[in-house]
Chain A
Amino acid sequence: MEPLHHFQVHKFVDFSLLGIDLSVSNSVLWMWIAAGLAFLFFTYGLRNTKQVPGRMQSLVELGYLFILDMVDDIIGKKDGRKFFPYIFSLFYFILFCNLSGLIPGSFTVTSQIIVTGTFAAIIVGFALLFGFYNHGIHYFKFFVPTGVPVLLMPLMVPIEIISFLARPVSLSVRLFANMTAGHTMLAVMFFYVVTLPIFGAWLPFGFTVVFTGVEIFIGFIQAYIFTILTCVYINDAIHLH
């Protein structure tokens, strides 16, 4: 039994340019497919727009307003709008990576910690730089909790710094672990479906059917959480607490 086998990255084309590894692997291929699906979803929904929307158009508008409301809620209408395209793309990239991983035989891009880690590092690094850009040296106040006695400061400031540094780790590991765990669970259950005799195999098979539905839900939730935390981090960089 090799439940982690389907997370193995295989390079199809070994290729590097100017010392940068630009190989194409199954992970990269499914990144493209997910991005393409996301783009297709929107262009298909908007192929002939009408004043009274059809089903796909309603879905597209709903998806747009969902992210717009989230950004407006958390960052604010004034400051948030300029980040909206980035957050929108981030959500749909992750969502389609999560969902396309559920296609049998496909590869789950977001189950690679290096992919989620890249996004998390960029987001938190950007939030940090943006905070310093907005507030200058005052941004260090972010690490000093308010309403805490001065005596406790030597304890509280390192905790705040550590919790800030834990942000990219928790952000990336949350998504990666959710995807990995769900797919590993499915793999284990499929292993039992294949190996058990027919009178016992229906039980894990039924479980996989149910759990695939749960995985779709988790794919949505995790993309949402990833995006909402991105909004929260950017908001922290704009509005010091």
Chain B
Amino acid sequence: MISVAHAAAEEHAKSAGMPQFEPSMFEHQIVWSVISFLILLHLLKKHVLPAINDLLDARAKKIEEDLDSAKLARKQAEKSQTDLNNQLASARQMASETMDQARVDAARHREQAVEELNAELAKKKNAALLEIEAAKKKALAEVQATVVDLTMLATEKLIAKSVTKSSASSMVEEALKEIKGSDASLH
């Protein structure tokens, strides 16, 4: 009885205290914690750590390569940019040269056109003047002819109609005078 009660009391004391301080449970936990840790260490070292290491190394390498290729691409881009700039500059120069040429050509064309026009105008003017002259001469000749005709007609009529004795005599006299005068001037 006593021993049972004692055992019960001991059991009670055991359950009231910390179960962690039960020495009979120490040994297997020490052994197994070391073994478990070593197994986990082995597994991680064998399968996990190299995999992660490779992964990170591969990524670092990839990033480095990407950076390098990006640098290269950038260099190329810069080169093509300068090429483009050069092309652009030459194109611009060409354009300005063409423009100047065109301006010069245009000026020359204009001058030529003005000259031609002037020449033509002068020619036309001359032609017009000649025409006017000819027309004037013709008109004068016509007028002269008409005047002669008219004079002849008038004279005829005058002679035919109104030559009287007195007037005829005076006219003769006059004509004689004229002849004398011309003689005198001859001598």
Contact = CB atoms under 8 A, between A and B. Distances in A.
A and B: direct contact (Cβ < 8 Å)? yes
B31 A60 contact: no
B36 A114 contact: no
Contact of B33 (A31, A38, A43): A31
B33 A119 contact: yes
A25 B56 contact: no
B164 interface: no
A49 B51 contact: yes
Given A22-B31, A180-B20, A85 B41 contact: yes
A217 to B, nearest CB: 23
B102 interface: no
Nearest to B29: A114
B44 A85 contact: yes
A190 to B, nearest CB: 17
Contacts of A119: 33, 37
A2 B18 CA distance: 11
A210 interface: no
Contacts of B15: 2, 4-5, 8
B183 interface: no
A9 B19 contact: yes
Given A31-B36, A51-B58, A118-B34, A39 B44 contact: yes
A39 B42 CA distance: 10
A23 B32 CA distance: 9
Contacts of B32: 22, 24, 27-28, 31
A74 interface: no
B25 A114 contact: yes
Interface string A71-112: 000000000000011101110110000000000000001011
Given A32-B36, A39-B43, A23 B28 contact: yes
Among A7, A42, A89, A93, the most chain B Cβ lie within 10 Å of the Cβ of A89
B37 to A, nearest CB: 6
Nearest to B47: A43
A85 B45 contact: yes
Contacts of A22: 28, 31-32
Contacts of B40: 35, 38-39, 89, 92-93
B186 interface: no
Given A39-B40, A89-B44, A20 B34 contact: no
A92 B44 contact: yes
Given A2-B15, A31-B36, A114 B30 contact: yes
A39 B18 contact: no
B2 interface: no
B157 to A, nearest CB: 134
A8 B19 contact: yes
Given A90-B37, A93-B37, A25 B28 contact: yes
The 4 closest A-B pairs by CB, nearest first: A21-B27, A89-B41, A35-B40, A42-B48
Given A8-B19, A84-B49, 4 more contacts: A35-B43, A64-B56, A92-B40, A114-B29
19 contacts: A4-B18, A11-B28, A21-B31, A28-B28, A31-B33, A35-B36, A39-B43, A46-B48, A60-B52, A85-B44, A86-B41, A88-B44, A88-B49, A92-B44, A112-B20, A112-B25, A113-B20, A118-B30, A119-B37
